[in-house]
Structure 1
Amino acid sequence: MKAALLAAFCFGAVIATPRFAEAHFVSGNRLYEWCTADRADELYWVKEGQCTAFILGTIDAMEAHESVRLAMGEQPLGAACLPARATAGQLRDVVVQHIRNDPKDRHENAAGSVLLALILAYPCDQS
């Protein structure tokens, strides 16, 4: 009985924690913090790595989704068409510029901000 009560209490505490109340793991605010870390910050390289890894991971997920759609015989969404020779640094800069210049939704899901930045910067030709 005590174990069940303890488990129920712990579960309730986790659910009531604001961190878990969010619908996402990384907000645009957190991504912006990572991407704009001051070089004097002792964690600069960690934050820089988190920034770039998050953006590239989101791009990989977007491209994997397109590949799965093709493999299943569906039309790709073609939301963003990245240049073949775009560098990681270039894509990072595009995303950071978007988050910096349009902060009104920065509290939302960071992956959504990454995708929106890329869609706006690299729209697919719809003709």
Structure 2
Amino acid sequence: MDLGIMRAMLAVGTILLAGTLQAFAGDVPKKPLFSEKTFFTGNDVYQWCQYDKASAQTYVGGMYDMSVHGAFAIDRMRHLGAEPDNGFEVDFALEEFVGFCMPERATLEQMTDVFCAHLRNKPAKRDWPPALMLKDALKDAWPCPGSK
């Protein structure tokens, strides 16, 4: 694929991601974006946290694995071989998509506990898609050095 096309795709993706994230800034929206396209809400996962820990762990593990896959795909777009350097755009996309730096020895059970505590402590946001809330929970627990 042409390098110019790849850079244009990265720029458009970054702009779309930034626009989507701005919609979630500030107050909780009356109807979360993409709600009609999600299988679960934070309320569903919170119920699992209370009564079915295995389901909560399965959800968290699957979402974590997906974030690793996404981060790998985004990072592969770094330095596509020509100037100018696109490191800033890639770093921005990684921060917005993942945004956390989990300790090497953290366990799935620990990650699930962090997410369940986040859901317990933020009841007004539980109607949001849990995939969006998980990143926030993990970022609060394990921020990356130098992140905002």
Superposition TM-score, scaled by structure 1 size: 0.71
For residues 89-121 of structure 1, the C-alpha deviation after alignment (integer angstroms, 9 at most, x for no partner) is: 111111101100111110110111111100111
Match of 1:62 in 2: 67
Match of 2:127 in 1: 107
Q: Which has more radius of gyration? A: 1
- The one of 11, 35, 39 equivalent to 1:25 is 39
Which consecutive unaligned segments of at least 5 residues does structure 2 have? 1-34, 79-89
CA–CA separation in structure 2 for the residues paired with 1:94 and 1:51: 11
Match of 1:13 in 2: none
Match of 1:91 in 2: 111
What is the total number of aligned residue pairs between the two structures?
98
CA–CA separation in structure 1 for the residues paired with 2:50 and 2:134: 15
- The one of 51, 56, 78 equivalent to 2:56 is 51
- The one of 47, 50, 55 equivalent to 1:36 is 50
Superposition TM-score, scaled by structure 2 size: 0.61
Three-state SS of the structure 2 residue aligned to 1:25 is coil
Three-state SS of the structure 1 residue aligned to 2:65 is helix
Letter paired with 1:104:
A
Which consecutive unaligned segments of at least 5 residues does structure 1 have? 1-20, 38-46
RMSD across aligned C-alpha pairs, in angstroms? 1.6
Q: CA deviation at 1:22?
A: 2.4
CA–CA separation in structure 2 for the residues paired with 1:26 and 1:115: 16
Matching of residues 110-121 of structure 1 within 5 Å: 110-121=130-141
CA–CA separation in structure 2 for the residues paired with 1:115 and 1:70: 18
